[in-house]
């Protein structure tokens, strides 16, 4: 039998190839199927601590990437997502977050995980839940010293519950020295136009 690490690499390669189809329903279901396969094998076999951690890291990445693919505000030309797709994506994002917690990963990783849940909740128009996740993400990014990401999460808090406050955040990003600040500001503007038309 192929070793668990090589087997996982093959599964993840197949998943990444499937992502190129941009068929969101297919991507979400494939992620579920592969994650279930990994869970079953790691529970059925005696695996080392390193193998167990590798399984969790792969599940975290796969669940996150599938859920992120369903986020409808990467661009203004993205397809509208169905209620079923967004619900499915939230579950995968929550699984990714659970893996981050099990792996005891950094505040930056926690911030990314909870931001995605918030983003998908915003897409579901569950603005109160979205705000709570964005606020947590902002706190985690602050702990990580990632000022631009912290401002980005604060900007999503504004989009969720206080759109009038977004201009203040954009102003702070405009003078932020971190190199990806302009890109994050652009992302906020797109999300604002999509969700607060």
The pLDDT score that the predictor gives to residue 86 is 97
Written as six digits, the tokens of 32 are 């579920």
Asked whether the beta carbons of 80 and 51 are under 8 A apart, the reply is no
Render pLDDT for 24-77 as a digit per residue (tens, 0 to 9). Answer: 999 999 999 999 999 988 887 767 888 889 999 999 999 999 999 999 998 888
**Phi and psi angles of residue 5, each rounded to the nearest 5 degrees, phi first:** -70, -45
DSSP element (H, E) containing 125: none
Q: Where are the beta strands (DSSP E) in the chain?
A: none
Q: How far is CA 192 from the centre of its chain?
A: 18
Maximum alpha-carbon separation in the chain? 59
Written as six digits, the tokens of 114 are 């909870």
155/161 Cα distance (integer angstroms): 10
**Phi and psi angles of residue 6, each rounded to the nearest 5 degrees, phi first:** -65, -40
Segments of the chain with pLDDT less than 50: none
96/185 Cα distance (integer angstroms): 25
Written as six digits, the tokens of 47 are 């695996």
Determine whether 151 is exposed, middle or buried from the number of CB atoms within 10 Å of its CB (0-12, 13-18, 19+).
buried
């Amino acid at each position: 039998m192929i070793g668990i690490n090589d087997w996982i690499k093959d599964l993840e390669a197949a998943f990444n190839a499937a992502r190129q189809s941009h068929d969101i329903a297919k991507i979400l279901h494939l992620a579920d199927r592969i994650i279930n396969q990994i869970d079953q094998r790691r529970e059925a076999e005696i695996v080392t601590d390193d193998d167990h951690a590798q399984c969790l890291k792969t599940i975290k990445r796969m669940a996150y990437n599938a859920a992120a693919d369903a986020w409808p505000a990467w661009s203004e030309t993205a397809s509208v997502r169905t209620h079923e797709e967004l619900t499915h994506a939230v579950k995968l994002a929550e699984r990714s977050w659970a893996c981050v917690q099990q792996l005891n990963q950094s505040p930056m990783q926690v911030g990314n995980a909870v931001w995605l849940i918030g983003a998908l909740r915003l897409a579901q128009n569950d603005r109160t839940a979205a705000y709570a996740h964005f606020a947590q993400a902002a706190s985690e990014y602050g702990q990580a010293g990632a000022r631009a990401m912290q401002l980005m999460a604060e900007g999503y808090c504004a989009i969720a519950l206080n759109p009038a406050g977004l201009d203040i955040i954009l102003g702070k990003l405009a003078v932020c020295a971190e190199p990806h600040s302009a890109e994050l500001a652009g992302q906020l503007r797109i999300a604002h136009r999509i969700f607060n038309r």
